[in-house]
Amino acid sequence: MPHPQADLPHDDLARELRAAVLGSDHAKAARVSEQYTVALGRQWALMSETERATSGIPKQAVELLTWAREVTIMHHAMAAQHLSAIEKANRYLTARANYLRTAAI
Amino acid sequence: MSTSAVNNALALLSPQTATTGTSSFASTLQASVNRALEIASLPMQLLQADQSTISGKTNELSTLGGLFNSLQTSLQAISGSGSSTSQATVGNQSVLSAAVSGSPLAGTYTVDVLNPGSTSSAMSNSATPVTDPTTQNISSSNAFTLTVGTATFHIAPSTNSLNALAAAINSSGAPAQAVVINLGTPEAPNYQLGIQSTALGSVALQLNDGTNNLLGTPTAGADASYTVDGQPSGGITSDASTVTIAPGLNVTLQAAGTTSVTVSSSLSSVSSQLSAFVTAYNAAFTELQKNVGTSGGALVGDGAVLTMQQALQQMINYHGSSGSITSLAQLGVQFTQQGTLTFDQTAMAGLSQTQISDALTFLGDTNTGGFLQYANNALNSVTDPISGSLATETLSLQNQNQQDQTKITNDQAQLTLMQTNLNQQMAQANALISQLQNQNTFLQGLFQYTTSNNPNAPSAG
């Protein structure tokens, strides 16, 4: 299977980036966003002034990266919340384990 | 190209990256995460409930264990009271008093006290009167020799005073009692030392300070003498007031005269022990009822409760196979409608000597037979430290405790793994957030020159 490098259409990379972000696959999202940015830069360089003037690429690109960043921030916050819950559960379990060890049964 | 041209061109294009915003997505994702956390915490909630159950059961088992042990102790007390089931009745209590120890044969003894006996005594004859016994003494010596009968005792008072001398004699182990007596008047006191033998009869008494004998001529006592049922004709001589006239029957001679001593069986001590048994039974029964049916006790539905109930029923339903007394009911122990016991002490008071004897046979002993052994064995099924239901149930709880500990260990390992993964995810998310910010800045810079005339260009800021 060919590796999706810069020669892929940037639209495909955009979809791939959205999927990675939604799946909380941050490592993949970082890789794809890098590819997306490079591909976009290359395509932009190949475009004429007229094409650039009427292109929707700038708006789409900024919207995509902004969205990806906001969702990732949200995922980070939720992971922190999840981590807090787990740490609380771990403390609870430690307390229960201590109780059981000392329980006078 | 003009700005309007660009705007028109862009209007014809459908958006390549359709974002619906973060709010609705965020709420959905948050709900999903919350649900996952709730599901993840379910096992811990169950574990917590399980632990509460174990604690409650353990406490209740401990309470019941204490009550059943008390019940068994009360049984053993009845068993132990068997040796004091006889009583002695004295016809003329001014002649003598009687005490039972052991199990004397029932019957009537006639005791004729010919002479209750008396002790020997002697008084010091100090020429120099002691007016203050706390500072003065009848001799300046600090070492004395006391002779009682043929035995001698070394006396060393702590201080040179009459009081200290008397105290030293009394603590010397000599079979004699020393006292300080004022033979003078309150205005002109004259304290002297009096010594009295412990044994009856003529006993030699003397106190020597190394140079002089300090006591005057002793007054000789006399041995006690008595006959039992007229025998022996000359009487029995004793140097003690308390004598054994039959196995387990002691009398203390007090005055000359004749009296009868009647030994008979008695259930008075058994009666008080049975009362304590009923109290202990009711305490155990009442506590057990808290764990039956819909009462909500910690041990409701637990097999150990049934075993304990059966043990209680078993021992109360015991029936003897011989004699006139074959059930506890005949001794005044009755069931109430609630299943507890009552005890009517008057039921025993009306028993004849034969019935008392049969009652003692019915009760038996925790080791040899009868109700007490039967009941003790029934309680052993609960209290035995190895095979008893209390021990078995406690062991089961211990195993459950161990299993919970193992589960906690496993859960903690899983939580640690989750923590590691989450920390890794957060680090990657941090890196991605930073990277996306940089890329956004880069692209905005790249597209910037079209900002002024491209409606599809990102807005500033």
Shared-domain flag, residues B229 and B341: no
Q: Does B374 fall in a domain? A: yes
Domain count, chain B: 3
Average pLDDT estimate for B434-455: 79
Q: Does B459 fall in a domain? A: yes
Cα-flanking dihedrals φ and ψ of residue A46, to 5°? -85, -10
Task: Give the pLDDT band (50/70/90) at residue B68.
Answer: very high
Nearest to A18 by CA among A90, A78, A67, A52: A67
Task: Give the pLDDT band (50/70/90) at residue B23.
Answer: very low
Instruction: Say yes or no to pLDDT of A25 above 80.
Output: yes
**B290-305 per-position pLDDT tens digit:** 998 887 788 888 888 8
Q: Does B321 fall in a domain? A: yes
Nearest to B107 by CA among B245, B232, B269: B245
How far is it, in rounded angstroms, from Cα B49 to Cα A6?
57
Strand, helix or coil for residue B68: helix
**Domain coverage including residue B250:** 86-116+224-265
For B197-233, letters b (16+ CB in 10 Å) and e give bebbbbbebbbbbeeeebbeebebbbbbbbbbeeeee
- Interface check for B16 against chain A (CB to CB < 8 A): the answer is yes
Shared-domain flag, residues B98 and B159: no
Average pLDDT estimate for B357-369: 87
pLDDT at B158: 92
**B392-423 per-position pLDDT tens digit:** 888 888 888 788 888 888 888 888 888 888 88
Q: Do A44 and B447 touch (CB under 8 A)?
A: yes
Write out chain A residues lying below 8 Å of B444, CB-based.
58, 62
Shared-domain flag, residues B363 and B430: yes
The beta-strand segments (E) located in B273-415 are 333-335, 341-343
Shared-domain flag, residues B163 and B301: no
Average pLDDT estimate for B166-174: 94
pLDDT at A14: 94
How far is it, in rounded angstroms, from Cα B38 to Cα B30?
12
How far is it, in rounded angstroms, from Cα B67 to Cα B311?
13
Average pLDDT estimate for B422-447: 90
Instruction: Say yes or no to pLDDT of B231 above 80.
Output: yes
Q: Does B13 fall in a domain? A: no
Whether the CB-CB separation of B197 and B180 falls below 8 Å is answered with no
Cα-flanking dihedrals φ and ψ of residue B401, to 5°? -60, -45
Shared-domain flag, residues B107 and B123: no
Strand, helix or coil for residue B303: helix
A13/chain B closest Cα distance in angstroms:
11
Shared-domain flag, residues B249 and B105: yes
Shared-domain flag, residues B327 and B440: yes
- Locate B65 and state its tokens: 């264990």
How far is it, in rounded angstroms, from Cα B192 to Cα B188?
13
- Interface check for B419 against chain A (CB to CB < 8 A): the answer is yes
Nearest to B207 by CA among B117, B287, B139: B139
- Peptide bond preceding B232: is omega within 30 degrees of 0, i.e. cis? yes
Task: Give the pLDDT band (50/70/90) at residue B113.
Answer: very high
> Angle formed by the axes of helices B389-447 and A26-46, to 10°?
10
How far is it, in rounded angstroms, from Cα B382 to Cα B376?
10
Question: How many other C-beta atoms lie within 10 A of the C-beta of residue A99?
Answer: 15
- Locate B83 and state its tokens: 């040796």
Shared-domain flag, residues B302 and B407: yes
Task: Name the H helices within B81-188.
Answer: 162-170
Q: Do A59 and B457 touch (CB under 8 A)?
A: yes
- Locate B418 and state its tokens: 């989750």
Residue bearing the bigger pLDDT, A87 or B3: A87
Give every CB contact of residue A15 below 8 A, 6+ residues apart in sequence: none
Shared-domain flag, residues B92 and B76: no
- Interface check for B411 against chain A (CB to CB < 8 A): the answer is yes
Shared-domain flag, residues B391 and B457: yes
Shared-domain flag, residues B183 and B276: no
Average pLDDT estimate for B91-107: 86
**A54-94 per-position pLDDT tens digit:** 888 898 999 999 999 999 999 999 888 888 888 888 888 78
Write out chain B residues lying below 8 Å of A14, CB-based.
16-17
Shared-domain flag, residues B135 and B257: no
User: In this complex, which of B22, B423, B453 lies closest to A71 when CB atoms are compared?
Assistant: B22
- Locate B222 and state its tokens: 């006399």
User: In this complex, which of A14, A44, A105 lies closest to B16 when CB atoms are compared?
Assistant: A14
